[in-house]
Structure 1
Amino acid sequence: MILLQALSVLLCLVGGVFFLGGTVGLLRFPDTYSRLHALTKADNLGLGFVVLGLMTRTANISELIMLALIWFLALVGSSSACYLIANHIRSEAEDTGERDDLGL
Structure 2
Amino acid sequence: MAVRQSATQRTREAVALNRLGAEMRRLWAEGLAGSATIEAVRDTGERLAGNAVVDVDLVVLVDGRAPYATTLRTPIGGTDVTPYRPGARYNVKVDPQDPANLTFAG
- TM-score normalised over the length of structure 2: 0.37
Which structure's CA Rg is the greater one? 1
> Which one has the bigger strand percentage?
2
Between Structure 1 and Structure 2, which shows a larger proportion of helix residues? Answer: 1
